[in-house]
């Protein structure tokens, strides 16, 4: 089969002919129909500091996908040949303390598909049954392939109630854009989106943003105050991983408001805890992974019902061989979600 390998500790990925993986007793073999490039894959491709510390080449990259089960291991019960599946990418152990108390998404022995074990940028991938999610056969393959990041967006937006709330969302990358759609679908009343890319802000409008702000040229906090009768927004959603955006966000949320943080920062960041958090009584949530499988249920309900149309976020599709084009588009921020077809 064709597979996209991280072969060396340096920039790039290599497309190589590779044996089809053998299925373990607790695994299913999946023929990948569509895979989607995540920010994590881009980090692995460009070989940033995070990748240097975390990835041990050689490994097949990629973790967001949809495909069909072609073979199952001896102990597999829940999925069967022919099922149309996607996967929770956080492969939890099931026996550590966090798993025991119902938080497998922050398992102490977490292994991530395409990061710690061979991933989905390939014609076939072997995945443990326990993380497989069986999709409705009516859902479009392209949409099914982005449920993992959509789940991040759902958990970020829905860490608390969003209905009737005013929102500032910083960072209109693919997950942020999905976040705009989720906030819209769940009844946010005003959604303000900031980013540095006009291309992405245009997509934010299509996803339901009421106001878009290019933070390069305008003062985000001033716009937010103008748009909220001087109060600030009820909810701040941080998807960018920019320290500047985080500070804009904390200063734009009203006292008593809520903030969810998903974007990962390159370095430690400095914020004014006294004035921007404590005296404002702001509640801050760190978000990682997805609730397994509660979030997946919400995600598939959103897609199956048509309540959320993710098509504006999916901007490009390439055969697996042309992965370089997709990575370049992601790097220059001239894309939403980029899909790869093995």
Interaction of residue 262 with Zn ion, rule CB under 5 A: no
Of 127-135, 146-154, 286-294, 305-313, the window that binds Zn ion (rule: CB under 5 A) is 146-154
Q: How far is the CB of 284 from Zn ion (least distance, A)?
A: 23
Annotated active-site residue 40? The verdict is yes
Angle between helices 198-206 and 174-185 (to 10 degrees): 20
93 scored as a contact of Zn ion (CB under 5 A):
yes
Taking CB under 5 A as the criterion, the residue among 34, 44, 55, 99 binding Zn ion is: 99
Which of 43, 89, 170, 315 does the annotation list as catalytic? 43
Least Å distance, CB 262 to Zn ion, is: 11
Interface stretch with Zn ion, choices 90-98, 209-217, 240-248, 255-263 (CB under 5 A): 90-98
Catalytic residue check, 332: no
Closest distance to Zn ion from the beta carbon of 88 (Å): 11
The CB-of-96 to Zn ion minimum distance in angstroms stands at 3
CB 141 within 8 A of CB 51: no
How many residues belong to the site for Zn ion (CB under 5 A)? 8
- Segment interacting with Zn ion (CB under 5 A) among 7-15, 18-26, 97-105, 176-184: 97-105
Residue of 136, 12, 41 whose CA lies nearest to 338? 41
| Tokens matching residue 259 | 């903030």
Q: How far apart are CA 164 and CA 234, in angstroms?
A: 9
Which one is catalytic: 40, 89, 166, 295? Answer: 40
Span 10-69, contacts to Zn ion by CB under 5 A: 38, 64
Per CB under 5 A, 96 contacts Zn ion = yes
Q: CB nearer to Zn ion: give 214 or 288.
A: 288
Q: Is the peptide bond before 293 cis (omega within 30 degrees of 0)?
A: yes
Residues numbered 101 to 130 that lie near Zn ion (CB under 5 A) are: 107
End-to-end CA distance of the chain: 9
Nearer to Zn ion (CB atom), residue 38 or residue 237: 38
CB of 94 to Zn ion, least distance (A): 6
Q: How far apart are CA 24 and CA 73, in angstroms?
A: 6
Stretch in the footprint of Zn ion (CB under 5 A) among 86-94, 111-119, 192-200, 241-249:
86-94
Q: Considering the complex, state which of residue 150 and residue 183 has its C-beta at the smaller distance from Zn ion.
A: 150
Residues that bind Zn ion (CB under 5 A): 38, 64, 92-93, 96, 99, 107, 149
Q: Which residues are annotated as catalytic?
A: 40, 43
């Amino acid at each position: 089969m064709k597979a996209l390998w991280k072969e060396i500790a340096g920039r790039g990925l290599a497309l190589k002919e590779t044996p089809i993986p053998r299925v373990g007793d607790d695994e299913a073999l999946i023929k990948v129909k569509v895979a989607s490039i995540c920010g994590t894959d881009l980090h692995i491709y460009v070989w940033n500091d995070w990748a240097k510390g975390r990835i041990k080449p050689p490994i097949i990259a990629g973790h967001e996908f949809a495909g069909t089960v072609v073979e199952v291991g001896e102990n597999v019960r829940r999925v069967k040949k022919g099922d149309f599946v996607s996967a929770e990418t956080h492969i939890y152990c099931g026996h550590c303390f966090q798993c025991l108390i119902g938080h497998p998404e922050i398992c102490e022995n977490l292994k991530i598909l395409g990061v710690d074990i061979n991933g989905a940028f390939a014609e076939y991938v072997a995945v443990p049954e326990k993380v497989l999610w069986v999709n409705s056969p009516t859902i479009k393959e392209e949409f099914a392939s982005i449920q993992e990041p959509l789940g991040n967006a759902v958990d970020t937006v829905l860490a608390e109630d969003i209905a009737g709330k005013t929102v500032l969302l910083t960072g209109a990358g693919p997950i942020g854009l999905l976040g705009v759609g989720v906030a819209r679908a769940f009844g946010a009343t005003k959604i303000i989106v900031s980013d540095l890319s006009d291309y992405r802000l245009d997509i934010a409008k299509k996803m339901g943003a009421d106001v878009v702000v290019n933070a390069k040229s305008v003062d985000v906090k001033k716009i937010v105050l103008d748009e909220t009768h001087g109060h600030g927004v009820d909810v701040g959603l941080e998807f960018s991983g920019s320290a500047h955006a985080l500070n804009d966000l904390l200063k734009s949320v009203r006292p008593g408001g809520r903030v969810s943080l998903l974007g990962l920062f390159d370095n430690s960041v400095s914020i004014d805890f006294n004035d921007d958090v404590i005296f404002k009584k702001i509640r801050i949530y760190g978000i990682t992974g997805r609730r397994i499988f509660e979030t997946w249920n919400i995600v598939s309900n959103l897609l199956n019902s048509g309540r959320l149309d993710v098509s504006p976020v999916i901007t490009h599709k390439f055969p697996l061989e042309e992965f370089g084009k997709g990575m370049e588009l992601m790097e220059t921020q001239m894309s939403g979600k980029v899909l790869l077809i093995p």
